[in-house]
């Protein structure tokens, strides 16, 4: 029996209290199946997918693993078919659904009525209170150190605050966690597990329809010391996307962020920037000085590109060793 047994591992029937973040359409069947087969909870991302694409991906992951897996849904109007993706996910009968951003409660109730396990990610204490009242299967507390889209709260104090009100709901901590130290700290706080994104981005399994730039992104994460990330709306302005109030995106700092961070309104007016040589186009051209590389402060803890299964194994082994050692503090 695995040593790190928590309410999360019991409820979701997984071996290890590790969830892989749903990093849009670049989180596909290959990564999700690798994490799930290693005993964690792999996740297929839906953001950026069409209903047909998501349906195919969910069918593929079901064929690639016999272990529990999840699909992540962004619950705001990011596209005309965002609401349709909830129905696609329900029809696929995933073992777990994770919900993020916007008003998650209607989707939570719909998924739960279909008999699905649902984990809901929160970025503010006010939202956490509402989600706790709705009684999901788990609540994911996301701190500002996280890569990609996140809120404004620091991970540690926010997680502690939500743990005080969780009322028996398993709490998962996200933001700034990339290995066993973060997992051990989360469990010592009373959480039931962690969600990791940046660490799983630096794996060969991470990938999707836009594959040309991914190797450059992986190496940029490994090279980053954690000091050089930027949390702002700059990336979303460049892509013409509007996210819910209070949500920013954290990316690795580069020439693009240096030029436009704090000048988002000017960027919005600079139509040419949305095509070239900045932003999405530069990602296709493998230009790291302009590439939008969503990654968090935990990039400073990512020292090499590793297979996803090895990430899970090392994270668990390190956490177990640390937690065994913590007992000496009480002596």
Q: What is the CATH number of the domain that holds 66?
A: 3.20.20.70
Residue 2 lies in a domain: no
Q: Do both 100 and 175 map to the same domain?
A: yes
Residue 100 lies in a domain: yes
User: What six digits make up the tokens of 142?
Assistant: 């996301």
> Which pLDDT score, from 0 to 100, does residue 209 have?
46
> Which pLDDT score, from 0 to 100, does residue 260 have?
85
Q: Do both 189 and 260 map to the same domain?
A: no
pLDDT tens, the chain, 331 aa long? 568 999 999 999 999 999 999 999 889 999 999 999 999 999 999 998 999 999 999 999 999 999 999 999 999 887 788 889 999 999 999 999 999 999 999 999 999 999 999 999 999 999 999 999 999 999 999 999 999 999 999 999 999 999 999 999 999 999 999 999 999 999 999 999 999 999 999 999 998 544 567 888 899 999 999 999 999 998 888 887 888 999 999 999 988 888 888 888 888 777 455 555 455 455 555 566 778 899 999 999 999 999 999 999 999 999 999 999 886 777 6
Q: Evaluate if pTM is beyond 0.85.
A: yes
Distance CA 42, CA 308 (A): 10
Residue 1 lies in a domain: no
Residue 76 lies in a domain: yes
Q: Do both 73 and 41 map to the same domain?
A: yes
Total domains in the chain come to: 2
Q: Do both 231 and 294 map to the same domain?
A: yes
Residue 164 lies in a domain: yes
Q: Do both 191 and 46 map to the same domain?
A: yes
Question: Could you list the residue range(s) of the whole structural domain that residue 116 is in?
Answer: 7-206+303-330
Q: Do both 135 and 159 map to the same domain?
A: yes
Q: Do both 277 and 150 map to the same domain?
A: no
* CA 22 to the chain's CA centroid: 5
Which of 141, 160, 182, 155 is closest to 319 using CA atoms? 182
Q: Do both 62 and 135 map to the same domain?
A: yes
> Which pLDDT score, from 0 to 100, does residue 212 have?
60
Q: Do both 239 and 120 map to the same domain?
A: no
What separation in angstroms does the CA of 19 have from each of 53, 65, 256, 262? 23, 15, 31, 33
> Which pLDDT score, from 0 to 100, does residue 216 have?
84
Q: Do both 249 and 321 map to the same domain?
A: no
What separation in angstroms does the CA of 213 have from each of 147, 217, 281, 284? 17, 6, 10, 6
Residues 6+ apart with CB under 8 A from 265: none
Q: Do both 226 and 190 map to the same domain?
A: no
């Amino acid at each position: 029996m695995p040593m790190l047994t928590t309410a999360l591992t019991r409820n979701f029937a997984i071996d290890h209290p590790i969830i892989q973040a749903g990093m849009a359409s670049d989180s596909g069947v290959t990564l999700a199946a690798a994490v799930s087969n290693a005993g964690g909870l792999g996740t297929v991302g839906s953001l950026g997918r069409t209903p047909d694409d998501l349906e195919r991906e969910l069918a593929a992951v079901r064929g690639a693993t016999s272990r529990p897996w999840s699909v992540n849904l962004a619950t705001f109007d990011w596209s005309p078919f965002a609401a349709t993706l909830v129905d696609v996910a329900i029809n696929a009968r995933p073992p777990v659904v994770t919900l993020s951003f916007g008003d998650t409660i209607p989707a939570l109730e719909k998924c739960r009525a279909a008999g699905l396990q649902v984990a809901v990610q929160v970025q503010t204490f006010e939202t956490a209170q509402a989600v706790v009242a709705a009684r999901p299967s788990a609540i994911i507390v996301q701190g500002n150190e996280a890569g990609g889209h996140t809120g404004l709260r620091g991970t540690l104090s926010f997680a502690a605050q939500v743990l005080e009100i969780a009322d028996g709901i398993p709490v998962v901590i996200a933001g700034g966690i990339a290995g066993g130290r973060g997992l051990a700290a989360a469990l010592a706080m009373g959480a039931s597990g962690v969600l990791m994104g940046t660490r799983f981005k630096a794996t060969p399994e991470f990938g999707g329809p836009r594959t040309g730039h991914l190797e450059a992104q992986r190496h940029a994460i490994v090279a980053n010391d954690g000091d050089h990330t930027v949390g702002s709306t700059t990336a979303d302005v460049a892509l013409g996307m509007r996210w819910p109030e209070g949500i920013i995106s954290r990316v690795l700092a580069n020439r693009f962020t240096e030029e436009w961070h704090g000048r988002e309104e000017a960027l919005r007016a600079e139509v040419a920037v949305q095509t070239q040589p900045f932003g999405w186009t530069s990602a296709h051209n493998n230009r790291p000085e302009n590439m939008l590389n969503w990654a968090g402060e935990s990039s400073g803890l990512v020292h090499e590109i590793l297979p996803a299964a090895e990430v899970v194994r090392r994270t668990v082994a390190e956490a177990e060793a640390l937690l065994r050692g913590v007992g000496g503090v009480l002596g």
